[in-house]
Amino acid sequence: MKYSQSLFKKKYVIACMLFAVNFFIVLVPHAFAASGGITLTNPLAGGTTTNPLAGVTTPEQFIGRIIQGVLGLVGVVTLVMFLWGGFIWLFSFGEPERVKKGLNTMLWTGAGLVTIFGSTVVIRWFLKVLTDTATR
């Protein structure tokens, strides 16, 4: 049992590292395309793609775009987790432990979503107060 858990942990770490590397492989070319006017060729459509960072001229705008992308990913992960919890609950066949597991998955997913978007609102409000105070 212990061997399979360590093997699972190793596979989990490798999967996370691959995700991180792929994330930066996808993100960095877009950042360079925004700064140097490089056009990206779409091999499937046969044309060029629009620059997702068009109009970004300051580091603040760049960081804002990254935060928007991360919040989009959070929404996707939240949807997947809600569906996962729902499937666990649906296919529990009345087994109390699995029903509880499915409900807890959905409950904690909702709590995490409220926490993330609540912190986003507070941070935006705080930054707005700081920038309004700095311009006075």
Per-residue pLDDT of the chain (136 residues; tens, 9 = 90+): 455 666 667 777 777 777 776 666 666 565 555 555 556 666 666 665 566 666 777 777 777 778 888 888 888 888 888 888 888 888 888 889 989 999 999 999 999 989 988 888 888 888 788 777 656 5
- Direct distance between the N- and C-terminal alpha carbons of the chain, in angstroms, rounded to an integer: 64
The reply to whether 47 and 67 lie within a common domain is no
Specify the long-range contacts of residues 45-53, CB closer than 8 Å, at least 24 apart: none
pTM of the model: 0.54
Name the domain boundary from 41, 56, 71: 56
The reply to whether 42 and 67 lie within a common domain is no
- The answer to whether the beta carbons of residues 132 and 114 sit under 8 Å apart is no
> How many structural domains compose the chain?
2
The reply to whether 27 and 63 lie within a common domain is no
SS3 49: strand
